[in-house]
Structure 1
């Protein structure tokens, strides 16, 4: 096939999808996703990552940029991918809708529909931070990205989101008392109004590990790890919480309801537990990380809601796929990975497709397949080679 046709075909098919009313893929299949961070110099290439995700049966992945090598690797995989626009682009994008259009045309549109890009996370933990100019720019950037998607007829396929940290809340205990910080409401409300219009969820980064680390004397480690414990009773709602994760989600629901957005879905953009850290990072251990992530996976697999929203199935992106050895900050930042750099599991949380030795041998297996294919191709006629190449590209 000619290169020019290959570049045009995804857009052509996407427009055909729109013309014939084919229902787009859901933005989140099932309940379990993974954050695929890449601030590291020792992790596998994107093509191997796709194989690892398929082995673990994880269908939803999120990256923090729109790296073209990742987008290309996910092409034809059937996996759903969320891309990100970094904080460093928000101020410029808030002032210029054309900049948002250009970004989508360069980083999203050429890969559709074969790379299933289902969402764009605009910024990360902007509100609640210390950069007021960035806070002021967030809504404009979100609006321009949405308008750009609308102009390109992609709003039925791709949702816009922005992840928030728990710093946007004034308090969270008991869960029913949670409200947004007064100083961010002027920035938060227009965003929530936009998300009501677009049907986007409230994206929340929530870490029981960080809560426990900050106050280990008063927080029961078993409550943070989904282990048997006395739990917490919320007298305002008569709801009982046997784990901190559910309580933190319901705190966000309470804040949304108090602000007038009680019907908005809360989706977890990040959660996880560090397997190691600095000496003062209480609770950072491999055993605790294994316990939290194993129990979190079981909890999400039940496809249930929280005590406050029992019928709204909770969905979460876990942090993270790999340990990222180049991440700045405390030691825990480099120890959230479910997999090691060689693709083997860090600890067993029930991924039946991977074992400590299976992943490494799989990589060698794929290499053997590739080498074998090259040997076979060498003996084929040129016509047969072209035919084989076309078949491979269609996979």
Structure 2
């Protein structure tokens, strides 16, 4: 399977040679690197694991210096998160944003392919939501002053910011999230940056298996499952992404793309809903979709990026599903094969 994926990605990269940070030796797919565990390998070992499986993109939840040093010269595209608790400080002034940037990005910028900086993870709606737009604006000022044209600022939201995504055209931001989301998506439109969305068909299926078909959640439906006007949907991930496009358009913004910043399927923790076989099926099909540049029915001509959650099973998360999202055990052994 690895040789087939390599051949596929070489063809894709040849067609999209202008895409920032992708080399001929990398798969145009991302994996989230979470570190909530006390038995995880060293950052240097993790970077080598990404390179071994030619995973081209890494998402970090905070600027860990050991990880950033290990990434120097790796050629891996990096999406770097700002800790949620740091948002008020960065939002307070352009100087504070520059200090954060000069500490966590500037020392590495010549050796690491930074793709996105994300101001918070799933803080909209919530007490910290008020700081997201100001933090993004202040960071953008710093980046513009440095003239780093390839680095974009965004934030990461959960699909729960939508009041509905079934069918996709009913997508609308919830009342509690709407004001913050309007400011955010207008900023993203003005800077040609995407909105990063954590999208999990697993949760929809596990919470309502009677009405959400397993094959619809796992990319295995033999044909369309949902018909929405003249658009047909055979998988739930496309429906979630398109619901965000509809929600943004209803607020007058049609130029913002979506990046799937997290998606995956746990391999244990919730009985028959979470088996290694189900997790393997979902993540293998996720990889196939994104490597084949299959976009969504609403925007079939738009490039869609995707990140799997997560690299490792993390033993310091709550027991059950939360500990079992990893593609790899802490010793580097695959929980199930996805890339080989």
The TM-score with structure 1 as length reference comes to 0.77
Q: Is structure 2 residue 130 aligned with structure 1 residue 136?
A: yes
Given that 1:31 and 1:303 are in contact with CA atoms closer than 8 Å, whether structure 2 keeps it comes out as no
Q: 1:98 to 1:184 in 2, by over 3 A?
A: same
Shift of 1:28: 6.5
Structure 2's unaligned 5+ residue stretches are: 1-17
For the 8 Å contact 1:322–1:336, the answer to whether it is kept is: yes
State yes or no: 1:271 paired with 2:263: yes
Structure 2 counterpart of 1:241: 233
Q: Distance in 2 between matches of 1:120 and 1:314?
A: 18
Specify the alignment match of 1:190 in structure 2. 183
- Determine the C-alpha separation between the residues in 2 that align with 1:305 and 1:217: 27
Tell me by how many angstroms 1:172 deviates: 0.7
Q: 1:28 to 1:334 in 2, by over 3 A?
A: farther
1:255 maps onto 2:244 in alignment: no
Alignment of 1:10-29 (within 5 A): 26=20
The runs of 5 or more residues in structure 1 that have no matched partner are: 1-23, 353-395
* Structure 2 residue matching 1:162: 3-state secondary structure: strand
**Residue in structure 2 matching 1:288, options 278, 289, 303:** 278
**Counterpart for residue 88 of structure 1:** 85
Give the C-alpha shift of residue 137 in structure 1.
Answer: 1.5
Of Structure 1 and Structure 2, the greater helix share is in 1
Q: 8 Å contact 1:31–1:314 — kept in the other structure? A: no
Q: Counterpart of 2:13?
A: none
1:230 Cα offset (Å): 5.7
CA distance in 2 between partners of 1:250 and 1:114 (Å): 35
Q: 1:226, 1:243 within 8 Å by CA — same for their partners in 2? A: yes
Distance in 1 between the 2:47 and 2:87 partners? 29
**What is the rounded CA distance, in whole Å, between the counterparts of 2:250 and 2:129 in structure 1?**
21
Question: 1:339 touches 1:345 (CA, 8 Å); kept in 2?
Answer: yes
1:103 alignment counterpart? 100
The equivalent of 2:163 in structure 1 is 170
In structure 2, what is the equivalent of residue 325 of structure 1? 315
Cα deviation code 1:186-231 (max 9, x no counterpart): 1111211111121110111000001111111211111111113564
1:9 aligned partner: none
Residue of structure 1 in register with 2:328 after alignment: 339
Distance 1:213 1:27 in 2: 36
More strand by share: 2
1:311 paired residue number: 301
Shift of 1:278: 4.1
Does 1:217 find its partner at 2:216?
A: no
What are the Cα deviations for residues 120-157 of structure 1, in whole angstroms up to 9, with x where unaligned? 111011113xx33x111111111111112223333x13
Separation in structure 2 between the aligned mates of residue 115 and residue 31 of structure 1, nearest angstrom: 16
* 1:27 CA drift (Å): 5.9
Q: Across the two proteins, how many residue pairs are aligned to each other?
A: 321
The residue aligned with 1:57 is 54
Q: What residue is the counterpart of 2:193 in the other structure?
A: 200
How far has the Cα of 1:116 moved from its partner? 1.8
Aligned partners of 1:273 and 1:288 also within 8 Å: yes
The alpha-carbon distance between structure 1 residues 58 and 172, as it changes in their structure 2 partners (threshold 3 A), is: same
